[in-house]
Amino acid sequence: MLLDATLEILAEEGWGGLSLERVAERAGTSRVTLWRQGVTRDKLVDALLERLTADYQESLWPILTAAGSGRERLDQALHALCAVANRHLQLLLASDTAFHQAQARAETQPSFLGPLVRLLHDGAADGSLGAPADYEARANVLFNTVCWSFVHLRGRHGWSAQRASALVIDLVLNGVE
């Protein structure tokens, strides 16, 4: 209930409008009650990041273990990344800074790049992708280009999830000819 209230406020007012008082009011409780329970704005955002991280890992695991070439599975993984970003759009639209701050506070650092690094290695091994000089850097560029372009096109331009993911992933995987 608190996390849903937090997302609603982020959607309506953005990061600057997120306060415990507003979350408490939306959730039907008092700010004092939240304070007594040790709830802070950072803890709410951290919990939203944990939810996003679990969703990402659960979405990519079947792709990592599936049959198919590295390139085919990378394509599937990038579509899954967009689907996860779409499910957590309000959090991601709120603030890139807030996302990175929450990530830095996490006890266990979530690995958003690991699955992409693995698929890049698989693609290089099976010949469906070229071998980059730096797999981690390539995965970082892939993740950020796809995720943040998708978020921007969905949230700021109102594109459909299907259109945004299809066009961004096509550009990333096929380039401009």
Q: What is the pLDDT of residues 48-93, one digit of tens each?
A: 989 999 999 999 999 999 999 999 999 999 999 999 999 999 888 8
d(CA 79, CA 163): 11
- % of the chain with per-residue pLDDT over 70: 99
Q: How confident is the model at residue 42 (pLDDT cuts 50, 70, 90)?
A: confident
Domains in the chain (CATH in brackets) are 1-39 (1.10.10.60), 42-174 (1.10.357.10)
